[in-house]
Amino acid sequence: MKLATWNINSLSVRLPQVIAWLADNPVDALCLQELKLVDEKFPHDALKEIGYHAVAFGQKTYNGVAILSRSPLRDVVRNIPGHEDAQARVIAATLDTPDGPLRLVNGYFVNGQAPGSEKFAYKMLWLEALHRWLREELLAHPRLALLGDFNVAPEDRDSFDPVGLKDTIHHTVEERGHFQQLLQLGLTDAYRLFEQPEKSYSWWDYRMLGFQKNRGLRIDHILVSEALRGRVTACTIDRAPRKNPQPSDHTPVVATLD
């Protein structure tokens, strides 16, 4: 089984890229972030034609998340229960597999803009709410994977310039602390289960030849519960879509489970 996450940065613009990628990489489930479209405009029919079911939580112009899967999804939850939020940032669903139900949680984490800003305070509250809810989700669903654009570079090696960017957004002690708290719930960063190439990133700025110079960050992650950890046989970053004409500034991350 293969699970993937990809911040697509406008599904209406990049639907052909998603369809082409799935043709070459027929994953069992793909979590998308930054749909930037309302639910009424979600391309269910186009995805059905290539064999994918989908559940979505959209929003005009901003945010939006979806889970695509080869099998139907059930028990769908949109946004963090008990946390009032006008932004479409979380969708969760259960995928039935031969080994039992698999709970997928797809999140487009808050960017936060800059430490000390109102948006950063919102990010901290959002992360606290996510942590509380995931504790309950893990009790109810031992086989759980949390995927998405976390907007956090967990360690210095996940940033192209950890010294120059120290204490800036994505690099702060507070953000990294919240990432560690997710791990302390019993989740594991699937990418770090394996030896990986140095300077491996999943996002590059459009400006200043960010991708060409590999000035990137690893901020897209797949975390797996203890029940899944031993099943993960690989986790990779697929840089190829970032070379497309009009690409997303993010690229897919894929985990393989035995």
**3-class secondary structure, 212:** coil
Residues 94, 74 contacting (CB under 8 angstroms): yes
Q: Are strands 53-57 and 65-69 parallel, antiparallel or unpaired?
A: antiparallel
Active site residue 149: yes
Pairwise CA distance, residues 230 & 41, whole Å? 39
Structure tokens at 202: 């999943």
User: On the CB side of 106, how many CA atoms lie within 13 Å of its CA?
Assistant: 34
Which residue of the set 24, 28, 96, 149 is catalytic? Answer: 149
* Alpha carbon distance 71, 21 (integer Å): 18
Extract the tokens encoding 133: 């809810």
Distance, in Å, from the CA atom of 256 to the CA atom of 3, rounded to the nearest integer, reads: 7
* Residue 161 DSSP label: -
Name the nearest CA neighbour of 17 among 221, 256, 206, 248. 248
Phi/psi-derived region of residue 128, left when phi > 0, alpha when psi is between -120 and 50, beta in every other case: alpha
Q: Pairing mode, if any, of strands 2-7 and 29-33?
A: parallel
**What 3-state class would DSSP assign to 43?**
coil
Which one from 108, 189, 201, 220 is the annotated catalytic residue? Answer: 108
CA distance 5 to 170: 18
For 10, other C-beta atoms within 10 Å of its C-beta total 15
Residues with catalytic annotation?
108, 149
